[in-house]
Amino acid sequence: MSKAIDLGRIGAAAAVDAAEGWSAPARGKFSHSEVEEAFLEYVRRANINDWNLYADMFTDECVYIDHHFGTFRSPQAIKDWMNPLMATQSEMRFVPGFHMIEGDRVINYNWNRWPNPDGSGEPYDAYPHTGPVSRYRYQFPCMTMNRYAGNGLFWFEEDIYSPSAYIEVKSAWQREMKRLGKPMA
């Protein structure tokens, strides 16, 4: 029960941080192409298992909100959280379904995806997609919202997803990999 209370406090604090981040004024005027270029680099870094390089896309005083894990306020804090977490799931990829840019804001509807254990649906991390999303059996959606700060950096991120879907999909994928005798991180 105390775990649920802690998660509730983390989520409530993250909601306040998110409201402040979304209501903050833009930190400059940026061309659509500049923000798009930064977003594409963000996607690339999110899919190469180098979480230090990924975290370096955030300003020194950033606000990174994961409603399940909490708020992180520096690239180093992001690294300290992401490196051990993602070491346990190096096969997972973050594949945009679509994204929209408005000023300094980027809204990204993405798929958190593991490869099909039978090898079908390859490549499973292609962006833009090479086929229908339904061909991938182990995935769950996430809304990632960023605010751009210029010079290829973001100062804000908010991730919204279902932690229970994450746990269920990852567990089902691990069971299938084990059943097939395939290695996993």
Answer with the residue of higher pLDDT: 95 or 2. Answer: 95
106 CB-near residues (< 8 Å, 6+ apart)? 35, 39, 99, 100, 145, 146, 147, 148, 154
Q: Which domain holds residue 70?
A: 2-179
Per-residue pLDDT tens for 14-60? 776 776 776 776 888 999 999 999 999 999 999 999 999 999 999 99
Is 107 inside a domain boundary? yes
Per-residue confidence (pLDDT) for residue 22, from 0 to 100? 66
Per-residue pLDDT tens for 129-179? 777 888 999 999 999 999 999 999 999 999 999 999 999 999 999 999 999
Per-residue confidence (pLDDT) for residue 2, from 0 to 100? 47
- How many domains does the chain divide into? 1
- CA 19 – CA 70 distance, rounded (Å): 14
Question: Left, alpha or beta for 86 (phi > 0: left; psi -120 to 50: alpha)?
Answer: alpha
Is 36 inside a domain boundary? yes
Largest Cα–Cα separation, the chain:
52
Cα–Cα distances in Å, from 101 out to 90, 120, 135, 149? 28, 32, 27, 14
Per-residue confidence (pLDDT) for residue 125, from 0 to 100? 87
Is 75 inside a domain boundary? yes
Question: How, if at all, do strands 153-161 and 93-102 pair?
Answer: unpaired
- CA 25 – CA 9 distance, rounded (Å): 27
Does residue 128 have a cis bond before it (omega within 30 degrees)?
A: yes
List the one residue out of 21, 103, 33, 8 whose CA is nearest residue 64: 21
Is 184 inside a domain boundary? no
Whether pLDDT at 3 is above 60? no
Amino acid (1-letter code) at residue 57: M
Is 185 inside a domain boundary? no
Is 63 inside a domain boundary? yes
- What is the CATH classification number for the domain harbouring 150? 3.10.450.50
Per-residue confidence (pLDDT) for residue 1, from 0 to 100? 42
Is 48 inside a domain boundary? yes
Per-residue pLDDT tens for 100-115? 999 999 999 999 999 9
Is 110 inside a domain boundary? yes
Per-residue confidence (pLDDT) for residue 155, from 0 to 100? 97
